[in-house]
Chains A and B, each alone.
Chain A
């Protein structure tokens, strides 16, 4: 770990100013990801701007939406009454992530911005275009069991590891940010990027921009929801595949659906085509299977993650079955 300065501003503006002006400054929230990366020499900020004193912790109703402050803890958010009542899918996704200890430190803003767990990214002795552009992708012809099957490029096949973000993608969240040029709103689908030729740029957040909150619009997905996470151990492991499924049912018919996957791409992977297909169809395993097959179109796997081509659709079917309560 390199030496760094540490400041803890009380106002958002001061925090934003510092990170905007100082090339090597970074925000730190729960620190559960950033400190790990610093200890391994993967990121080397010379100044840490601790945002924990900023008033960004609240979870409240705002114009019909539920607004979750960037500093709300993962654990608190999962247990929050409003979240449980209006967006239980998010609660399930949060609880599927990390461990209780980590969830008690990790923030909602930090969770969205956590970096990939690709082992080549994590080891400075190995090549990685994301960590050091131009060095090559170690995973492409290396160990790629955990890696992407959608939206990858020659330069990077890493996945975004967040569970929470998969639910946010399915629930049409909007990210509220404030930066040197003022405030703006970023639809969740536009928040994370695909790797393309610039895998080191992971989001559309600009330098100095601070996440203030996420908004979750009112929706009917309060009952028939399920977050399914398939992993190598029962808890405290990243997803091989995860599926956030939400259905609005009219008896046994689907009025509308929301579907997103984790562990398959460089960003939470929204399955819009499958959602559209499901609308108006009966909630049966057959329809779910057809939707899953649609969702998997265009998937391309590598040496060690071919199983995702089969586990993916199976997980979609299972998540939908669980959401619909279909045995």
Chain B
């Protein structure tokens, strides 16, 4: 990792502030909360993909030992906020159009149709098996390929010609078709499931008739609070959401889901706290997934490596009851300098559950097609794919016609090429060997909007010189608390050990959901603002009360290691603690909000990554080994090289999964998944992950936000899968356009 220390604390590879809690088991996840009188709930899922519930026989289950209630559409407590969704196109960023136990309709296989509550988990599990449901089946459509002709432009785009999901044409439409040198290929990715380590879980507790507390696995504390307040028609402040620790989510905690409502209903019914933890199998159907997608890329270029046209089409799967969309084609619109670009995005509703954003949402899918196509085009014109990308690099956003806030992609590419040993890459595929194994190199570029939202942070300075910061954001694994402590240390002039950052509670000032790689930019900016406000307060206190500091303002003072001083008068130096003590103040408190301004209309802002892979393929057995990955990122200031590096490594491993192992399979006769546990759905294991080297350009983007940061979480995975697929081609001469690339496809 590059040794780049941006002044004080920011940039240091500081250990996680909660690392010890995590590795010793002291960190408490939602399923681990124990409340007096706790009960346990288990969901019963439908075994048909479409139709109606004809009858529900719950007698046996109700009579089973320890059972307190069996709830289903006919007897579940009414949810006052359940309104008929006007149309599947009314997407909700938070909240769930599928209303749990609302009526007898079945929309997908595995849909929760009943919940059993008992005094112990085992008894609830047993009784759940005893619930007998009969169905009136209707013909279902789950096969993407067979139904692909039914795909359409998302309704939101149909209604609004300015909507970004509309067809996009720059220059001439489909211009590649008439070119001399062109490619046209189709790419497919299967449905992938987030499968974080931690299962989705909730403890729901009605503290009073109109007062709800949930310990919930979520990435959206405030969103969840609002959703449940609306559902149950109670004041927002009466809903408390606690998500202090989240054991990975990758996007599946950005929604609220029916299981959460089921637990809340159950708690209402039995008038006791209810704990509900999904099974691994239920994680495949109840909390979203990366949708199956078909894509087609047409591209043309000049013999000397200038792209003349790109057409990129995508169709993504969604459910029948909700139009899920994602920005699959964004990278194609802005990454390369092609004068002609056409994109067309469609969705295909099937009788399946609704997808949800999964790490690198849309872009990871799109980049697989785009970056594979680039490799194919480079091969056709006989050019090194790195050189090909360099030649089509653009220093201005060709889509928005705006300057970039910052872009150091070229530096990242050079860095990575050097580290992987790109010069070893054979120009003719299938010609480099290591013993029996074929060796190949590939690369893929990724990008994601350098997003920033509105966030608020409270900061309290105590008279012992410590600072507590609070914000409702979560930490789903990137080390949010750690980064915020470092940003605070830097902007306060205080040692990190004196700072505590509290998160994951709706009692704290609001933040956006933790998604879209925006947390450090959003919450970090609010931390920055709160720290500056605290310094302001300190300055006023000393200026008003301390003769040595008379007339001093914050910008004249130096704040360092818990002391403030006047540069001009070295004698004027006092600790933060003493400033308070002298005024007999126990604490001072500030709450600051921070939000983006009009810089977003003047600049185009993206994070960038480039991934290089070396793979070895066995020609007889089709075994694939990723021998090395080098991931380089232009993500602004790196607050913590260790946690940021950790993000990049995790993303690379996710990309190995996407390229080589992950994908779930449905038997369309039943509309039911047949690979739905961690033995059959192959998340990569350690043995699949090689040495992964991470490098950061580490140059601040101060247009984006005062800390100069840009997001990392998504670009860590975007572009990895095509890097590996391209390396497989380079090794074998076989171009696999349908993921995952399993051994059977290479023999």
Contact = CB atoms under 8 A, between A and B. Distances in A.
Contacts of A232: 661, 682, 740, 742-743
Interface stretch (A79-87, A218-226, A233-241): A233-241
7 contacts: A1-B122, A117-B679, A233-B687, A235-B685, A311-B622, A318-B618, A327-B436
B47 A138 contact: no
A228 B661 contact: no
B674 A307 contact: no
Interface in A35-77: 39, 41
A3 B744 contact: no
A240 B744 contact: yes
A95 B675 CA distance: 24
Contacts of A2: 126, 129
B435 A119 contact: no
B688 interface: yes
Interface in A302-320: 307, 310-311, 314-315, 317-318
A142 B687 contact: no
Interface stretch (B208-216, B489-497, B549-557, B663-671): B663-671
Given A230-B622, A235-B687, A307-B744, 5 more contacts: A125-B672, A232-B661, A233-B660, A234-B688, A235-B685
Contact of B620 (A141, A145, A237, A318): A318
B575 interface: no
A123 B435 CA distance: 43
Contacts of A236: 679, 685
B682 A233 contact: yes
Interface string B663-700: 00101011010110001101011111000000000000
Interface string B622-665: 11010000000000000000000000000000000000110001
A315 B622 CA distance: 10
B40 to A, nearest CB: 14
Q: Which residue, B620, B625, B685, B740, has most C-beta atoms of chain A within 10 A?
A: B620
Contacts of A145: 665, 744
B623 A230 contact: yes
Contacts of A317: 620
A46 to B, nearest CB: 13
A143 interface: yes
Nearest to A317: B620
Interface in B706-747: 740, 742-744, 747
Contacts of B670: 125-126
Given A117-B679, A314-B620, A235 B686 contact: yes
B621 A314 contact: yes
Contact of A240 (B674, B685, B743): B743
B125 interface: yes
Nearest to A308: B744
A2 to B, nearest CB: 6
Query: How many B residues are at the interface, by size bracket?
Result: 35 or more
A120 interface: yes
A86 B553 CA distance: 83
Contacts of A237: 679, 682
Interface of B: 47, 122, 125-126, 129, 435-436, 618, 620-623, 625, 660-661, 665, 667, 669-670, 672, 674-675, 679-680, 682, 684-688, 740, 742-744, 747
Contact of B747 (A126, A238, A310): A310
B620 A120 contact: no
**Closest 4 pairs between A and B when the two form their complex, measured CB to CB:** A234-B687, A307-B744, A119-B674, A125-B47
A234 B627 CA distance: 12
Interface residues of A, number: 36
A125 B47 CA distance: 6
Contact of A318 (B129, B621, B682, B687): B621
Contact of B680 (A117, A228, A307, A315): A117
Nearest to A161: B679
Interface string A236-279: 11101000000000000000000000000000000000000000
Nearest to A98: B679
Contact of B665 (A99, A143, A314): A143
Given A41-B129, A317-B620, A311 B744 contact: yes
B680 A142 contact: no
Contacts of B747: 307, 310-311, 314
A120 B673 CA distance: 10
Contacts of B743: 230-232, 240, 311
Contact of A1 (B126, B435, B687): B126
Q: Which of A39, A228, A231 has the most CB of B within 10 A?
A: A231
A119 B126 contact: no
Interface of A: 1-3, 39, 41, 99, 117, 119-120, 123, 125-126, 138, 141-143, 145, 228, 230-238, 240, 307, 310-311, 314-315, 317-318, 327
A161 to B, nearest CB: 10
Dominant SS at the B interface? loop
A123 B672 contact: yes
B126 A3 contact: yes
Given A233-B688, A234-B685, A327-B435, A311 B672 contact: no
Contacts of A238: 679
Contacts of B122: 1
A197 to B, nearest CB: 23
A39 B125 CA distance: 9
Contacts of B688: 233-235
Contact of B625 (A39, A119, A234, A318): A234
A2 B686 CA distance: 36
Contacts of B674: 119-120, 123, 126, 142-143
B669 A142 contact: yes
A236 B687 CA distance: 9
A230 B742 CA distance: 10
A141 B686 CA distance: 35
Contacts of B126: 1-3
B684 A233 contact: yes
Nearest to A237: B682
A314 B743 CA distance: 12
Contacts of A240: 743-744
Contact of A311 (B621, B667, B740): B621
Nearest to B110: A125
Contacts of B622: 230, 311
B621 A1 contact: no
A6 B374 CA distance: 62
A233 B129 contact: no
Max chain B C-beta neighbours (<10 A), residue from A39, A117, A143, A310: A143
A148 to B, nearest CB: 16
B732 to A, nearest CB: 14
B280 to A, nearest CB: 11
A126 B671 CA distance: 11
A128 B501 CA distance: 54
Contacts of B667: 119, 126, 138, 142-143
B43 to A, nearest CB: 14
A59 to B, nearest CB: 27
A290 to B, nearest CB: 15
Nearest to B65: A3
Contacts of A311: 621-622, 743-744, 747
B131 to A, nearest CB: 12
A236 B686 CA distance: 10
A125 B671 CA distance: 12
A310 B622 CA distance: 11
Nearest to B109: A125
B744 to A, nearest CB: 4
Contact of B125 (A1, A138, A307, A314): A1
Which of B667, B675, B686 has most chain A Cβ within 10 Å?
Answer: B667
Contacts of A235: 685-688
A141 B679 CA distance: 22
B351 to A, nearest CB: 16
A228 B621 CA distance: 10
B680 A119 contact: yes
A202 B686 CA distance: 34
A1 B122 CA distance: 8
